[in-house]
Each structure stands twice: as structure tokens, then as C-alpha cells.
Structure 1
Amino acid sequence: MASRVLSPTLMTHVPKLTNSRLKFSTNHRIPSFSSTTIKCKAVGDSRQSSLGQTIYNGVYGPWTVESSDVREVILYRSGLVTAAASFVIGASPAFLPGDSWLSEIIKQNLDLLYVIGGGGLGLSLFLIHIYVTEIKRTLQALWVVGVIGSFATYATLALPAGEDLVQYVVSNPAAVWFVGPLFASLTGLVFKEGLCYGKLEAAVLTFIIPSLLLGHLSGLMDDGVKLTLLATWMALFVIFAGRKFTQPIKDDIGDKSIFMFNSLPEDKQKAFIEKLEQQNLNLEREFD
């Protein structure tokens, strides 16, 4: 699915499709405009332009993959890789000998890994392509609340106790209340990926992440179960982030025409739909 809306130049030409290279094909049938009918991946057929570009037929008209789109998708995926790598490295001492030099080095840098991983997640949430803006903003808000909660927990609780943030949360389950929103935003992201692309690892992560955090918070989960869930989380997170680079760029962009349409003022959206419906009606009359 896709990120921020299209470039201002492209958006400016939306109401004047007859004069732009995004001219609407008259064989494009207008579907129901309910958001429940929108798919996550790029929709419709594709064709090659005279310039060799692939043109995709979206819900609201043709669109192409620009270089800026490619950069955003790569940054989005890189943010996920950064978050996954930081998490796996930071969690690995749970499975390493306690007195090993590697375990000691990682433990001394847990807060740094937490910041790097949280930053990578924030980058991905900033660039994530979601058709419903309110959902995207909610995930971003959860991330912000989680960052604030993490900083407050470190400054007011962990630091005075002489511990880093991660160790403090492990030792004090109630601190999950403060850092939890950050992981809730991650859960929302993997849920979206699992729902859109049918990825099993993302679907499983949707349940493992909150289960482990809630189990730790409630104190109802023993250490053996926690370690099992943590190991599963680590493995699936690596698979999830790595497999993002096996997807076509267009799939992470989604249907670009929807973002173009959503960026328009309400009155222009209405006029745009009326124009498309009129084109569709004229086409039907030609074949009657």
C-alpha cells in the first residue's frame, strides 16, 4: 500500500485529466467508491507507454511508478530491516551465555539499539502506504506516544535506578504501559502487511507481539513461554523484513490513483467522480 500522496505537480493535473498524460481511459469502469472494496496492491491491468514506462490502471485512473516512489519504498523497507536487526541483536542476550563477551557488549548498548530500532520503525510508519489516512495517523500517534513514554520511563525510573530502559522494563513489567504504544504501532504495521499481502509471518507476529507484552505485564506467563515467544518473534521479524525486498515495488505503492484522489478537496473529489461516471455512462451508451 502506499505512502504520502503524489507530487504537487501530479495532483494539480488531476481535475484536468483530459490535458495530462494521466488521461482517463474510457474503458475504465467506475467501481463502488466504498473503501471496503479497495485492495492493498496495485489494481487493474497494465500497459507500456511510448516512453517504455509501465502504466497501471487504478481505481481513479492510470498511474506510473516514479523514481520518488521507488526511493520511498526502499526507505520504508530499510526502516523495517533496521527495526528488525536492532530488535534481534538487542534480544539475543536472552539466549547467549550470560558471561560471554558478546552478551556483555550488547547489554551495554541496549538503549542505543532501542533508539535505532525505534527510529527505523518511525521511518517506516512515516512512509507507510495506507489508503485510510486515519489509520495511518493512528499508527503514527501510537509511535509518538510510545517514544514519549519510553523517554519518560528512562529519565524518571530507569536512570535513577541505575538501569537502562530495556533492563528496567524486563525487571518491572508495569513499565510496559509506557513503552507499549510503540510496540502497538509495530503490531498495526505487521497486521496491515499480513492483511494486504497474505504473509503468514506477519499474521503470526500480529498475535505474538501483544501476547508476549501482555503476558509479561500481567505476570501470568512463565519465563519458558516468554523465551519461546521471543525466539519466534525474532525469527519471524527477520523473515518479515527480508521478504519485503522480494515484493514488486508497485505492491508497496498500492493504487497511486487513490492517494491522488484522496488529496483533493471534497468539492473536487465530487466533480471528479461525476466526470468519471459521465465517461462511463457515455461508453455504455455507445455499446447499447
Structure 2
Amino acid sequence: MTLQGLSTAALAIRPPSLRFRVDSGRSRLLYDGRIPSSGASTSRIRTKSVRCAGLGESRQGSFSNSNSVVYEGIYGPWTIESSDVREVILYRSGLVTAAASFVIAASAAFCPDSLSLSAILKQNLDAFYVIGSAGLGLSLLLIHIYVTEIKRTLQALWVLGVLGSAAAYITLAQPANESVTQYVVENPSAVWLVGPLFAALTGLVFKEGLCYGKLEAGVLTFVIPILLLGHLSGLMDDGPKLFLLASWMALFMIFAGRKFTQPIKDDIGDKSVFMFNSLKEDEKEALLQKLQQSKAQ
């Protein structure tokens, strides 16, 4: 079969009145013609369950005229645009920034006080905290999750964590002439203020571990809350805390570094789902009706 034939076959499920285009930097499903009105209720398509945005379950369908790969999604074919690549790179860069900042700051716990490096690290803990939080926030802004409510929840936790950290610094750490990190270390109850920030990180690594089966992400899902809860409750000695902290540092760097070994399309997921979710309700009904008719044929 020729490439033209493959392309025709791959695009066959797209209704004639639908087309893809980039609109203000984001791909959307747009109609060329009018949406047909019908008094009867529209039959919805039973589609396979969408598990994770990063699973990349869409099959490679064909090559378009511009030689870009066309993937078959649940709601139609889609391609990777330059804006998609940019978002994925920024998402992964945010993770690397968060991981690197955390590892550098946490290294202070293992440096002897006699070293000049230890003094430098402790003097700049707040700067590393801010940079790492910003990197995590960037990744949470660009993360691809099919269920919008979950994404918004992670983002809300990040906002609460940032506000709590700011409150802890202004009202508690600064009057004591300490960094936020040092204050939390010495006052476990302050975990309540900064905890939502790390809850958002835990949700992110849980999503990554679930979607890609990454061992380091799965272990981080347990290491982060166990360390924070152990410190908050006072039930954990310094030895186990340092062990968990070292594990967190190593796993976080492995996790962030390995993100750049994945194909770009993995972090995009099935883009047709996001384009479908961006449509108005009547447009969704019309698209489902057309796909149902196409499936029947």
C-alpha cells in the first residue's frame, strides 16, 4: 500500500466536517460546516477507558503531507505540533529544576558543619526552596492529565503549599532568623504549612509511576509522605529520617533525568481527548454522533 493510501486509511474515522488546526498555540477540533441539529438524543460512543495521559496508546497511523506522524486517538487523528514539544520540554525542565534544587538543599543535612560548603548551603536554603517550588509549579501547570479535576487539585495543593511556606517564613522563620527549611526541621508542626506543596509533588510522581511503570516514581510516592509524616508525628528518629532523605534525593534525580529518555508523545498522551474536552457540549454531541455513524459504516 502506498503512503497516500495509508494516510487515507488513518484519517478515515474523522468526520468530513471536522478538521484540526492550531488555535492560539493549542490544537482544537473545529467544524468546517454547521453542527446538525436533531430532536433525538445523541447516541454516545463506548470508547475504551483512558488510563493515563502519558501511556501513548494511540497507534501511529500515517504520515501527513508535511511528513509529521499522524496518531490515531479515541476521538480522531492528531499530530505533534511544535507547541506540544515546547510544553513537554518545559514540563521536564521544571522537574529537573525541582529535583536539582531539592538535592542541593538537602545535601546540607549530610555536610559536616566544619566545611565551608555547609555554611554556603545553609545560607541559601530559602533560594533553593523558591527555585525548586517554581520548577514544580511549572511542571504542574503543563502536566497532561485527562481528568481536569485531578490536575486542578494538584495545582491547588501547590498554591496552598506556596502560601503556607510564605506564611511560615514571614511569621515564624524570619523572626527566628532562620530559613523556612531549617525552621521546619526544628519545628515539626510547621509541616502542616508546607505539606501541601509536597503533597502536590507526591501526586505528580504517583501519576508518573502509574502511567509509565517507573520504579523510582512508585517508591517516591511512599518515601515522601512517610518522611514528612514521620517528622510531623515525632515517631521517627534522625537515622531513619536521613536514610529516607537520601533515598528521596537519589530517586528524585533518577526520576527527573529519565524523563528525557521518553518519547515526546508519551507526555502528550492522546491529544484527541484534550481537544474533545475543549469543545462545547453541543459540539461534543455532534462529534460523537458522527463518530458513531462512521463506526456503523
Tell me if both proteins adopt one fold, taking TM over 0.5 as the criterion.
Answer: yes
Q: CA separation in 1, counterparts of 2:52 and 2:88? A: 20
- Please show how residues 1-288 of structure 1 align to structure 2 within 5 Å: 7-8=22-23, 13-16=29-32, 32-33=46-47, 35=49, 40-46=54-60, 47-282=62-297
Distance 2:283 2:229 in 1: 46
| One-letter amino acid of the structure 2 residue matched with residue 60 of structure 1 | Y
Q: Residue 42 of structure 1: SS of its match in structure 2? A: coil
Q: Which residue of 1 aligns with 2:15?
A: none
CA-to-partner distance for each residue in 1:135-172, whole Å, 9 max, x for gaps?
A: 00000000000000000010001111111110000000
The structure-2 alpha-carbon separation of the partners of 1:56 and 1:216, relative to structure 1 and needing over 3 Å to count, comes to same
Do the aligned partners of residues 216 and 174 (structure 1) sit closer, same or farther apart at CA in structure 2, a change above 3 Å counting? same
For residues 116-148 of structure 1, give each alpha carbon's deviation from its aligned partner in whole angstroms, at most 9, with x where no partner exists. 000000000000000000000000000000000
Amino acid in structure 2 at the alignment position of 1:271:
A
Given the superposition, is the C-alpha separation of residues 250 and 148 from structure 1 closer, same or farther in structure 2, using an over 3 Å criterion?
same
Q: Residue 54 of structure 2: SS of its match in structure 1?
A: coil
> In the aligned structure 1, how far is the partner of 2:106 from the partner of 2:288?
51
Cα distance per residue 1:97-127 (max 9 Å; x no partner): 1220111101000000000000000000000
How far does the alpha carbon of each residue in 1:169-208 deviate from its partner, in whole angstroms, 9 at most, with x for none?
0000000000000000000000000000000000000000
Measured on the aligned residues, the alpha-carbon RMSD in Å equals 1.9
Count of residue pairs the alignment pairs up: 266
Report deviation, 1:39.
6.0
The whole-number CA distance in structure 2 between the counterparts of 1:59 and 1:212 is 40
Q: Alpha-carbon deviations, 1:57-85, whole Å to 9, x = none? A: 01111111111100000000000000000
2:206 alignment partner AA: F
Q: CA deviation at 1:49?
A: 1.8
Going from structure 1 to structure 2, the CA distance change for 1:76 and 1:38 (only over 3 Å counts) comes to closer
Measure the CA separation in 2 of the matches of 1:37 and 1:90.
35
SS in 2 for 1:202: helix
State the 1:95 CA deviation. Answer: 1.1
Instruction: State the alpha-carbon separation in 2 of the partners of residues 97 and 136 from structure 1.
Output: 40
- 1: CA distance between counterparts of 2:139 and 2:186? 29
Partner SS for 1:50: coil
TM-score by length of 2: 0.85
Measured in 1, the distance between the counterparts of 2:48 and 2:32 equals 24
Distance 1:192 1:17, change over 3 A: farther
Q: Which has the larger share of helix?
A: 1
1:114 and 1:37 map into 2 onto residues whose CA distance is 33
On the 8 A contact 1:31/1:59 being kept in 2, the answer is no
Is the Cα–Cα contact under 8 Å of residues 42 and 58 in structure 1 kept in the other structure?
no
Following superposition, the deviation at residue 7 of structure 1 comes to: 4.0
C-alpha distance in structure 2 between counterparts of 1:17 and 1:89, whole Å? 56
Structure 1 gaps of 5+ residues are 1-5, 19-29, 283-288
Q: 1:17 to 1:133 in 2, by over 3 A?
A: farther
1:195 and 1:173 map into 2 onto residues whose CA distance is 30
Q: How far off its partner does 1:12 sit?
A: 5.5
